[in-house]
Amino acid sequence: MTSLLDELLLLAYDDRSGFNRAGSHVETALGGAILLELVLAERVGMEDGTVRVTDPSPLGDPILDGGLRQIAADRPRKPKQVVQRTAKGRLKLVRESLVERGVLRHHRDKALGLFPYSRYLPGQPTVEADARSRLRTAVDAGRAFDARTAALASLVYALHMEKLAVPDRRPRDVRKALKVIAEGSWAGEAARKAVEETQAAVMAAVVAATAASAAASSSGG
């Protein structure tokens, strides 16, 4: 089954250039995707403001199951901390998984014939197309018709990926719609705090990365 992690990373990579257009903070968003997947699967829940494992049985996805074991082995933590801790190293793992399954194709090139770099292009375009179509339908309707699409919308909103995810709509309109979808009633009350803090953790990473980039540009000038 295609996970939120898969869909988010596929949307982040440009179909023509093969480069990640969402920035390095997409890895934090993958930590958020793990938490939301486990919430949707009823493997984790909230208790006294912290994430607790409610069902340790595996889902059959190595990355999600690894995240579940990591949470179970740790002490109870706030959702923001869980997102940050489960995010580490996930970008490479998700990308390798997509390549192994043929969903992404890994191309090795050299700039100026000397400097190696990698590109990741669609191997099975229908997987990404399905995610994009569901988001577009949700944006046009102003609501998601299933919890998985709503969860993806919340991650896209937090990561400011509206231009990448729904390029054929006005970015401002898409962002407004994603906000409405993300704040909707698709998650039960028990999961609401986890959803809110997941978004906060991802958005904080984006803000921090933007500030660091601006500071580096300023000092360089």
Predicted local distance difference test score (pLDDT) of residue 57: 98
Predicted local distance difference test score (pLDDT) of residue 190: 63
Predicted local distance difference test score (pLDDT) of residue 24: 82
The helix-helix angle for 62-73 and 90-100 (nearest 10°) equals 150
Is the pLDDT at 211 greater than 70? The verdict is no
- How many angstroms separate the Cα of 5 from the Cα of each of 90, 95, 108, 180, 204? 9, 9, 23, 22, 19
Over range 153-177, report the average pLDDT.
94
Task: Give 42-82 pLDDT, tens digit per residue.
Answer: 999 888 889 999 999 999 999 999 999 999 999 999 988 99
- How many angstroms separate the Cα of 108 from the Cα of each of 27, 100, 113, 117? 22, 16, 12, 6
Predicted local distance difference test score (pLDDT) of residue 213: 55
8 A C-beta contact, residue 11 and residue 3: no
For 4-209, CATH number? 1.10.3630.10
* pTM across the whole model: 0.90
- Residue among 198, 186, 190, 17 at smallest CA distance from 107: 17
Neighbouring-strand partners of residue 119? 107
Task: Give 111-144 pLDDT, tens digit per residue.
Answer: 877 789 999 999 999 999 999 999 999 999 999 9
The alpha carbon torsion through 147, 148, 151, 156 (nearest 10 deg) reads: -140
Tokens of 162: 């509206």
